[in-house]
A and B are shown apart, each in its own frame.
Chain A
């Protein structure tokens, strides 16, 4: 089915880069502040804990894909838990993704409005982004993959700028390490692990990967890379701001405002923002694509392209729905997302995987019994006769 809907092919490296951008694009701006709130000066440890969710998610996605190589989560859920529960679960997943796409678009727009375009109506920012993403989604998985491949390198650019902050860094902020034990850093990991669970998106893309053998390797490397990058960023935010990091909404932006090279390269935050918009574009496209593809798989449509724009309208609507302001948006990020995201994207897939494995075993056993049965019956009758 998946093959019929989408003709494109991507490589496992492209998929890794897509997932990398999908996870890190929104995590990078907000995580230092969210983690810092709970973990204080241990916030650099949090991404390491959070990445555990990522590894689990990747494992679940890839193991499930090995059982059902040509199918996405929306399709194999009906195979695993039966038609009606499977369809219900598919609906839940789709609802999750369309809702998340809306919220991500909203988060993006809030960031742009808050930092750079204070006078522009928020709807303009959201709608233009969704329009661009719709174009990418219509072009198919191949172009999204290539975009991710290209933008991945741009996204690394801010890392090059980090050393210019060295003179503002104070190693003292690191200490005392683990003052209150591991608990604060674990708590700080709660929100990042929500982002890590987004790696489950690869279940939509794995059917199109040509070298699927390398899927596990590239998926795990991706998670490792995300964890490393987040650790790096958290560390340098901590070294620059100390525990104050949590007081900023977007500490990374503020930190980059500090950079001044030779009194000429200043206000580099706009460069970082440009790069970040590229990442956000990939992220929204990926979520959008997963929603659109999943919906057409769920309904058994012949082509996914016609529903791209209608779903775009829904995404735009969801990005406004019951979110009057930034506080409400970030409330969802803090209160619900750390549990909701992993529930839908890590725990449910793991359960699915467990059930699928049990089913497989059951099938094998029943097959074994089928072959055993005549012999048993035979011996039985023999005994009776005896």
Chain B
């Protein structure tokens, strides 16, 4: 079995000088001194009567608390792989595994990704046993259950499902257990593997399971009836189920007085929204809605944007991508290089970009918001889900930028920023006159109708040909509409049929009938066709007139 494994040690010796025995263990995973002191030396020096039972050996001689009898080869292999030395004795059917596993592990340290000002400073480590002990140290009741299982064909990673019996929903535990049981994978190296395999929507870019490296967060969530999944080899514990709002919580919220933490929490929501929306808002304001920006600020923005050759969208995208690149560089580069790169990146290149006119200073707003962004996620966001959530949020933000850009196009004369600024000032100078929308009916009736008539009679000849052209245009539009609606109907069928095919016939007929009615209706020139609204107006008109 363990051929070509230089790290496995086979040590053969004789118990009491007579019975041949063999100890197998992996170098580095086993507490060697303890093995020598309490197993080997004891057994070698003992005077043992021949063919005494194995249990007696365990009971009387070896002072090791955790020792088990093994009857199969698989059990032995598992014990050895986990660092427990196995003792094979000549002419005995069973082997003994001693719980003497010990390997080098990291000390309990302050969690790096989730710091707090007030609160416990210990974080999970890579060792599952330590992590489980950390939980047990805080929650002392036997109601804290920890179910152990092994996942991963080769890695045989130990996974612990922890929950509070009596608080947690039993169905939830059963569901998680079932999902964990369904996993078939070669190796589990981090809890992210498990996370992706058990979440509801694996294709979604948003995290659906909370990850934390803080025992107090885990305990808090356990006490609130959630389940935790501890994975050996990683300090990150999974907590499910989660909501958006629990991703935005910090354990410190619980330790401070409620008023302060409520304020902070609202602030956090606010700035999450801001960090989410600010770039696209910036693009929208700069490109289309200049009236929203205070005039003096607008003028200085216009002045600083004068030198920038790109539209605001390109500018924002450039900033986003640059920032992403710098962030990625900051995370990946070796520490010694990283500092230099961030200085060069943020200060030198940033300054150069502004001076070269690639982005305007207003980019500084941008940069501030990005810095805030990272500060928010480093400082307040306790969760390392930050990273994945962060990325998905940013993807969404980029998409948002695009969407904003195409959502509304104003006439081109409003597009020039300076021109708009002038317009804006003149408007404010005029004073805040009544700029409301008067009823359009009145306008049409009183002023525009006669002049419109006159213009019509003048340009009758031209308008006729135009009308013909328009008709042609409309008929082509019509066919476009028919094609579009048919495509829509096909898409509808494609979307709904899988679910629909399982339902009774009546449902199918209703679906088809409704779709058909919608399809037929869309063929008509609806706005000018008398319909239900006209009918109801006819019925109630006398009453309405009575009111007048």
A248 at the binding interface (Cβ < 8 Å): yes
8 Å CB contacts to A: which residues of B418-436?
A: 432, 434-436
Selected interface stretch from A157-165, A218-226, A276-284, A317-325: A317-325
Chain B residue numbers with a CB within 8 Å of A257 are 432, 435
A24 to chain B, nearest CB (A): 21
| Listed residue (B409, B492, B547) with the most chain A CB atoms within 10 angstroms of its CB | B547
A49 at the binding interface (Cβ < 8 Å): no
Chain A residue numbers with a CB within 8 Å of B507 are 301-303, 306-307
B500 at the binding interface (Cβ < 8 Å): yes
Contact indicator B499/A303 (Cβ below 8 Å):
yes
B455 at the binding interface (Cβ < 8 Å): no
Give bound CA distance, A321 to B511, whole Å: 21
Contact indicator A321/B437 (Cβ below 8 Å):
no
Which secondary structure dominates where chain B touches chain A? helix
B203 at the binding interface (Cβ < 8 Å): no
A377 at the binding interface (Cβ < 8 Å): no
B287 to chain A, nearest CB (A): 14
A379 at the binding interface (Cβ < 8 Å): no
The digit string for B438-453, where 1 denotes a CB below 8 A from any CB of A, is: 1111000000000000
B340 at the binding interface (Cβ < 8 Å): no
A135 at the binding interface (Cβ < 8 Å): no
Known: A303-B503, A314-B518. A326 touches B440 (CB 8 A): yes
Contact indicator A323/B437 (Cβ below 8 Å):
no
Contact indicator A266/B536 (Cβ below 8 Å):
no
Give bound CA distance, A38 to B496, whole Å: 49
B473 to chain A, nearest CB (A): 15
Contact indicator A119/B532 (Cβ below 8 Å):
no
Selected interface stretch from B92-100, B251-259, B342-350, B521-529: B521-529
Chain A residue numbers with a CB within 8 Å of B527 are 320-325
B399 to chain A, nearest CB (A): 15
Residue of A nearest to B529 (CB): A322
The digit string for B467-488, where 1 denotes a CB below 8 A from any CB of A, is: 0000000000000000000001
Contact indicator A336/B540 (Cβ below 8 Å):
yes
Residue of B nearest to A245 (CB): B436
The digit string for B526-548, where 1 denotes a CB below 8 A from any CB of A, is: 11111111101101110110010
Chain A residue numbers with a CB within 8 Å of B289 are 270
The digit string for B18-57, where 1 denotes a CB below 8 A from any CB of A, is: 0000000000000000000000000000000000000000
Give bound CA distance, A263 to B432, whole Å: 13
The digit string for B185-217, where 1 denotes a CB below 8 A from any CB of A, is: 000000000000000000000000000000000
Chain A residue numbers with a CB within 8 Å of B106 are none
A360 at the binding interface (Cβ < 8 Å): no
Residue of B nearest to A119 (CB): B409
Give bound CA distance, A324 to B503, whole Å: 39
Chain B residue numbers with a CB within 8 Å of A117 are 407-408
Partner of A332, one of B440, B514, B529, B533: B533
Give bound CA distance, A95 to B540, whole Å: 16
A103 at the binding interface (Cβ < 8 Å): yes
Chain A residue numbers with a CB within 8 Å of B530 are 322
B291 at the binding interface (Cβ < 8 Å): yes
Give bound CA distance, A321 to B531, whole Å: 6
Contact indicator A266/B499 (Cβ below 8 Å):
no
Contact indicator B533/A190 (Cβ below 8 Å):
no
Contact indicator A306/B496 (Cβ below 8 Å):
yes
Known: A248-B436, A311-B514, A335-B541. A323 touches B522 (CB 8 A): no
Contact indicator B540/A305 (Cβ below 8 Å):
no
B107 to chain A, nearest CB (A): 44
Contact indicator B544/A334 (Cβ below 8 Å):
yes
Contact indicator B411/A322 (Cβ below 8 Å):
no
Chain B residue numbers with a CB within 8 Å of A91 are none
A309 at the binding interface (Cβ < 8 Å): yes
Known: A299-B510, A309-B492. A317 touches B540 (CB 8 A): no
Contact indicator A307/B511 (Cβ below 8 Å):
yes
Residue of B nearest to A116 (CB): B408
Partner of A254, one of B436, B441, B540, B547: B436
Chain A residue numbers with a CB within 8 Å of B531 are 318, 321-322
8 Å CB contacts to B: which residues of A261-316?
A: 263-264, 266-267, 270, 295-296, 299-303, 305-307, 309-311, 313-314, 316
Chain A residue numbers with a CB within 8 Å of B541 are 335-336
Partner of B439, one of A38, A249, A309, A311: A249
A250 at the binding interface (Cβ < 8 Å): yes
Residue of A nearest to B511 (CB): A306
Contact indicator A310/B529 (Cβ below 8 Å):
no
Contact indicator A317/B543 (Cβ below 8 Å):
no
8 Å CB contacts to B: which residues of A203-256?
A: 244, 247-251, 253-254
A258 at the binding interface (Cβ < 8 Å): yes
B142 at the binding interface (Cβ < 8 Å): no
B292 at the binding interface (Cβ < 8 Å): yes
Give bound CA distance, A252 to B510, whole Å: 42
Contact indicator B500/A331 (Cβ below 8 Å):
no
Contact indicator B528/A313 (Cβ below 8 Å):
no
A264 to chain B, nearest CB (A): 5
Known: A321-B526, A323-B533. A119 touches B496 (CB 8 A): no
A340 at the binding interface (Cβ < 8 Å): yes
A120 at the binding interface (Cβ < 8 Å): yes
Contact indicator B522/A317 (Cβ below 8 Å):
yes
Chain B residue numbers with a CB within 8 Å of A320 are 526-527
B504 at the binding interface (Cβ < 8 Å): yes
A85 at the binding interface (Cβ < 8 Å): no
The digit string for A369-383, where 1 denotes a CB below 8 A from any CB of B, is: 000000000000000
The digit string for B282-300, where 1 denotes a CB below 8 A from any CB of A, is: 0000000101101000000
Chain A residue numbers with a CB within 8 Å of B434 are 244, 254
Give bound CA distance, A264 to B293, whole Å: 8
B515 at the binding interface (Cβ < 8 Å): yes
B517 at the binding interface (Cβ < 8 Å): yes
Residue of A nearest to B485 (CB): A313
Contact indicator A332/B492 (Cβ below 8 Å):
no
Give bound CA distance, A249 to B503, whole Å: 47
A354 at the binding interface (Cβ < 8 Å): no
Chain A residue numbers with a CB within 8 Å of B539 are 336, 340
The digit string for A118-135, where 1 denotes a CB below 8 A from any CB of B, is: 011000000000000000
| Listed residue (A120, A301, A310) with the most chain B CB atoms within 10 angstroms of its CB | A310
Chain B residue numbers with a CB within 8 Å of A317 are 518, 521-522, 526
Chain A residue numbers with a CB within 8 Å of B436 are 247-251, 253-254
The digit string for A41-84, where 1 denotes a CB below 8 A from any CB of B, is: 00000000000000000000000000000000000000000000
Give bound CA distance, A264 to B492, whole Å: 48
Known: A263-B294, A334-B544, A336-B537. A249 touches B437 (CB 8 A): yes
A99 at the binding interface (Cβ < 8 Å): yes
Chain B residue numbers with a CB within 8 Å of A339 are 540, 543-544
Give bound CA distance, A123 to B477, whole Å: 14
Contact indicator A332/B537 (Cβ below 8 Å):
yes
Contact indicator A302/B503 (Cβ below 8 Å):
yes
Contact indicator B532/A321 (Cβ below 8 Å):
yes
Contact indicator A248/B437 (Cβ below 8 Å):
yes
Residue of B nearest to A257 (CB): B435
Known: A322-B531, A332-B533. A327 touches B441 (CB 8 A): yes
Contact indicator A310/B533 (Cβ below 8 Å):
no
Residue of B nearest to A343 (CB): B540
Counting from the closest, the 10 A-B pairs by CB-CB distance are A313-B518, A335-B544, A310-B514, A321-B531, A254-B436, A322-B531, A336-B540, A317-B521, A320-B526, A324-B527
Pairs across A and B, CB under 8 Å, 12 listed: A115-B437, A120-B408, A250-B437, A302-B503, A302-B504, A306-B496, A307-B510, A313-B488, A318-B532, A321-B531, A322-B531, A339-B543
Q: Taking beta carbons and an 8 Å cutoff, which residues of A are in contact with B?
A: 38, 95, 99, 103, 114-117, 119-120, 187, 190, 244, 247-251, 253-254, 257-258, 263-264, 266-267, 270, 295-296, 299-303, 305-307, 309-311, 313-314, 316-318, 320-328, 331-332, 334-336, 338-340
Given contact pairs A313-B515, A317-B518, enumerate 9 new A-B contacts (beta carbons under 8 Å).
A187-B547, A257-B435, A307-B507, A314-B517, A320-B526, A322-B532, A334-B544, A335-B537, A340-B539
